[in-house]
């Protein structure tokens, strides 16, 4: 792969405990290409969020990244960044949409003020300039500019989710990490948001690391998928191979444990 946006090598992360340490991530290596949509799947507790936090350098004690681990974003050594570098790095290189992101907006600030906070923290932008930029960003996620003057509680869950994504894109990050961003939303809204992200990444050229336990949803949107099991990355393949010809036993078991997409739809059609 030529010049990957993200390159992870031999990443090991422990949670330090009073009695013993818990090995949450074990010697994980993978790359994400420029513009690629990469999915990371696996059951709850297998270490997906721990990896996402480490890439954004948002992890803290008791999480400890083991010596020998390497995380490069755009060729830069993320684990070596100091506080000043980190401030510039977050949002502008890597932006992260958290689990339950729709609740991560500040309830007492208008949408406009939340865009302004992010934009102003990284450049000397005036309030009218910020408003114009926020209008553009909202347009990307299909939201009318009038919403700038609304408060989060005046917007639906799906709308709040799209606003968070627009804020994440404000500084044109090279990598957008989405950690189970849509699990709280209904299936139709989930799909709409992911389709929108897909259009935007082609338009703006960023890469996506999409994390979920829902392999069915992931196969529909990802170029390549990594499967995690108890802290280890056990299979990495293109989405079609993961779907049609899973290599690892665990991937096969994951599919077997999932309700069949088509079967489920058929069943629903006959439900009165
Ligand atoms: P996932 O996102 O795949 O559900 P996580 O990365 O959140 O998994 O967690 C991986 C493992 O690390 C889990 O077994 C979890 O219990 C453990 N873990 C997560 N955070 C902590 C913490 N702060 N202290 C101790 N153990 C933790
Ligand atoms: Mg998680």
Which pLDDT score is estimated for 269?
39
- What tokens were used for 39? 């999915």
Task: Report whether residue 49 contacts ligand 1, using a CB cutoff of 6 Å.
Answer: yes
Establish whether residue 62 lines the binding site of ligand 1, counting it when its CB lies within 6 angstroms of any ligand atom: yes
pLDDT for the residue numbered 122: 86
Question: 15 C-alpha vs ligand 1 centroid, how far in Å?
Answer: 8
What pLDDT, on a 0 to 100 scale, did the predictor assign at position 206? 97
Going from the Cα of 99 to the center of ligand 2, the distance in angstroms, rounded, reads 7
Q: What is the pLDDT of residue 186?
A: 81
Distance CA 45, CA 227 (A): 13
Closest C-alpha to ligand 1, atom 1: 45
Distance from Cα 43 to the centre of ligand 2, integer Å: 9
pTM of structure? 0.92
User: H-type helices in 61-211, by residue range?
Assistant: 83-92, 111-122, 127-140, 157-168, 187-204
- The whole-number pLDDT of residue 261 equals 56
Number of H helices, E strands in the chain: 10, 11
**Residue 251's CB: how many other CB atoms inside 10 A?**
23
User: How many whole angstroms from 121 Cα to the centroid of ligand 1?
Assistant: 31
pLDDT digit string, tens, across residues 37-59: 999 999 999 999 999 999 999 99
Query: What is the spatial distance between Cα 103 and Cα 64, in angstroms, rounded to a whole number?
Result: 28
The enclosing H or E element of 177 equals strand 175-179
Q: Does residue 50 line the site of ligand 1, with CB under 6 A?
A: yes
Instruction: Specify whether the CB–CB gap between 54 and 65 falls below 8 A.
Output: yes
Q: For 180-222, how does the pLDDT look when each residue is reduced to its tens digit (9 = 90+)? A: 987 778 888 888 888 999 999 999 999 999 998 889 889 999 9
pLDDT less than 50: residues of the chain: 262-272
The pLDDT score that the predictor gives to residue 258 is: 80
Question: What is the pLDDT at residue 257?
Answer: 85
Give the domains, in start order, of the chain with CATH numbers: 6-256 (3.40.50.300)
């Amino acid at each position: 792969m030529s010049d990957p946006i993200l390159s992870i090598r031999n990443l090991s992360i422990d949670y330090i405990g009073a009695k013993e340490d818990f090995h949450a991530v074990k010697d994980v290596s993978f790359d994400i290409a420029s513009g690629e949509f990469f999915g990371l799947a696996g059951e709850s507790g297998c270490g997906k969020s721990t990896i996402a936090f480490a890439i954004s350098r948002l992890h803290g004690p008791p999480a400890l990244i083991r010596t020998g681990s390497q995380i490069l974003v755009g060729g830069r050594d993320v684990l070596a960044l100091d506080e000043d570098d980190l401030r510039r790095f977050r949002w502008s290189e890597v932006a992260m949409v958290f689990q339950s992101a729709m609740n991560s907006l500040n309830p007492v600030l208008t949408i406009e003020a939340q865009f302004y906070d992010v934009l102003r923290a990284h450049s000397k932008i005036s309030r009218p300039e910020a408003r114009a930029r926020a209008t553009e960003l909202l347009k990307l996620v299909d939201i009318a500019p009038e919403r700038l003057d609304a408060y989060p509680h005046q917007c639906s869950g799906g709308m709040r989710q799209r606003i968070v994504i627009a804020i994440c894109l404000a500084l044109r990050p090279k990598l957008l990490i989405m950690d189970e961003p849509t699990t709280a939303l209904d299936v139709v809204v989930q799909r709409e948001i992911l389709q929108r992200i897909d259009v935007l990444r082609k338009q703006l050229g960023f890469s996506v690391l999409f994390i979920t336990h829902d392999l069915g949803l992931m196969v529909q949107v990802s170029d390549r998928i990594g499967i995690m099991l108890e802290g280890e990355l056990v299979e990495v393949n293109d989405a079609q191979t993961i779907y049609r010809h899973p290599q690892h036993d665990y991937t096969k078991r994951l599919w077997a444990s999932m309700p069949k997409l088509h079967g489920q739809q058929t069943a629903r059609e006959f439900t009165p």
